[in-house]
Amino acid sequence: MKCRKCGDVAVLELRRHNAAFCAPDFLEFFRNQVREAVRKHRMFGRDERVLVAVSGGKDSLALWDVLLGEGYQTTGLYLDLGIFDYSVESRAKCEAFAAARGAPLLVVPVAEAVGAPVPVIQAVTRRPPCSGCGLSKRYLMNRAALEHGMPVVATGHNLDDEAATLFGSVMHWQTDALPRQSPALPSTHPKLVRRVKPLYRLSERETAAYAFLRGIDYIVEECPFAEGATSIAHKEILNRMEDASPGAKHNFLFGFLDKARAAFERAEAVALNECARCGQVTTGTVCAFCKLADQVKRAT
């Protein structure tokens, strides 16, 4: 195979783009996809500080690497979930990445905020571990950004992640979730920061290739609690579709964003309040995070 841009030997074939690239041109292709995502959705400006949520995996570290290379003012945020050796290793990967680049990294232990690590939360609530974990991460990312004066949080969700989430929402017709399926969610309250996903145009395979070519050391193992998650089953279904028809994930996600998402937006805005306990945003009187913390406190 030859590189589409320079004609040199290609190292990676991208079937959905009907193209192949040498290493330098693929890295530039990857960065261009991030630039286009940021530009199209006005995710953040040069004068804004960006909080990058990092997990130690390939996607979030690849995103942080690109944004650092582009000269954005970024700070990493690692949420220590307390998931046995997995969290120990993933935290070490993030700390090593930040130290090698002289980039600031905030570390927030979930146990300090909720009262227990994710394995205990799962045992106490008897809910799927991803439920309490996701709730805690969304809350703590927003709180950290507010506390440090950053108007936007960037996460490493890629094309595969977004297509799988959309697939699950459509499978169950979760119409409340569909309007929030977007690469960029604006701030709808002074205590809610913007949330953006600059990798939504890039597949998981492409982020893995970028991390490899850039020499990024990331944790390869999946979270031990991810086994049996429906999102993995949805990804497997979409992978089979992609194998049979390259570009299927892109067409599914982008078709929804371009043609269908607006139809699910609410005519009336949801009323947002400040939690009576912590002051963060909620639709009720006490936010779900504070209720979770209360449940953990009663049981431990």
- Percentage of the chain modeled with pLDDT above 70: 99
- Per-residue pLDDT for 270 more than 90? no
pLDDT at 269 over 90: no
Model pLDDT for residues 205-232, shown as the tens digit of each residue: 999 999 999 999 999 998 998 887 888 9
**What is the distance between the alpha carbons of residues 79 and 90, in angstroms, rounded to a whole number?**
10
**Domains of the chain: residue spans and CATH:** 34-267 (3.40.50.620)
pLDDT of 92 > 90? The answer is: yes
**Does the pLDDT value for residue 188 go beyond 90?**
yes
Question: Quick one: pLDDT at residue 267?
Answer: 59
What is the pTM assigned to this prediction?
A: 0.94
Output phi, psi for 246, to 5 deg.
-55, 130
Q: How confident is the model at residue 300 (pLDDT cuts 50, 70, 90)?
A: confident
Mean pLDDT of the chain: 95
pLDDT at 73 over 90: yes
Asked if residue 163 has pLDDT above 80, the reply is yes
Say what the pLDDT of residue 74 is: 98
Q: What is the mean pLDDT of residues 78-93?
A: 96
Predicted local confidence at residue 227, as pLDDT = 80
Tell me the mean pLDDT in the region 101-128. 92
Residue 268's pLDDT is: 62
